[in-house]
Amino acid sequence: ETGVTQSPTHLIKTRGQQVTLRCSSQSGHNTVSWYQQALGQGPQFIFQYYREEENGRGNFPPRFSGLQFPNYSSELNVNALELDDSALYLCASSSGVNTGELFFGEGSRLTVL
Amino acid sequence: DAKTTQPNSMESNEEEPVHLPCNHSTISGTDYIHWYRQLPSQGPEYVIHGLTSNVNNRMASLAIAEDRKSSTLILHRATLRDAAVYYCILRSTTSGTYKYIFGTGTRLKVLA
């Protein structure tokens, strides 16, 4: 059973550019959530997808958007990058929306210059 | 949104119990209390969760106050591998949508 994998692990972008981060959920999991973790801070919930539909969103602007595919993998897209978007982006999968246990990947570290 | 408050750091001696507190005074009736821990350069790892009753699993125990405004994660015998940042999280549900609200975390240091 493979765990949650994220790509790329590190990337550098410049202000104003767009970025796409990818997440493969654990086998059998149909729910994916995304988090932003700034250096030295706790993760902040961005949104959650269940069976290809967004079913929860944190306090992030619309330039943060996502997709979930039929195989339950997911993408996080961020448009018009700002310096403050520099962070570790974490993806977590679970076997349903009501399950207690999230399985996290190791994250994608984004640096915006 | 409800909010959680945790001490920034705590220390414990190896093989002694550790009690990690969390305040969530604005919790609503359907919010679940979750605990995760994060080691350096890793994603968070599930520890335990509960709604109203105290919970036990192989990793830890979760004691939830009767009014649910606070909770305590209990590690029964701390080991060096338990050194991590522990997050108390509220999972809120509104009309079938979900939010996870992380606290700032408690950095646990375990002394040999």
DSSP at B31 = P
pLDDT tier, A96 (very low <50, low <70, confident <90, very high otherwise): confident
For the ranges A32-36, A69-73, B90-94, the lowest mean pLDDT is seen at B90-94
pLDDT tens-digit readout, A42-79: 999 999 999 999 999 999 999 999 999 999 999 999 99
Arithmetic mean of pLDDT, B11-19: 96
How far does the CA of residue A33 sit from the closest CA of chain B (Å)? 9
B45 close contact with A: CB closer than 8 A: yes
**What's residue A1's pLDDT?**
55
- At B102, which helix (H) or strand (E)? strand B97-102
Instruction: Identify all chain B residues contacting A97, using CB atoms and an 8 Å cutoff.
Output: 98
Arithmetic mean of pLDDT, B69-95: 94
The answer to whether A101 contacts B100, with C-beta atoms less than 8 Å apart, is no
B41 close contact with A: CB closer than 8 A: yes
Q: Assess whether pLDDT exceeds 80 at residue A2.
A: no
The answer to whether A103 contacts B42, with C-beta atoms less than 8 Å apart, is no
The answer to whether B49 contacts A107, with C-beta atoms less than 8 Å apart, is no
More confident residue, B92 or A5: A5
Mutate to test the interface with B, among A54, A102, A103, A108 (most CBs of B within 10 A): A102
Could you give the angle at the alpha carbon of B39 between the alpha carbons of B38 and B41, nearest 5°?
A: 105
**What's residue B97's pLDDT?**
80
Arithmetic mean of pLDDT, B48-77: 94
- Contact predicate B27/B90, CB 8 Å: yes
**What's residue A95's pLDDT?**
87
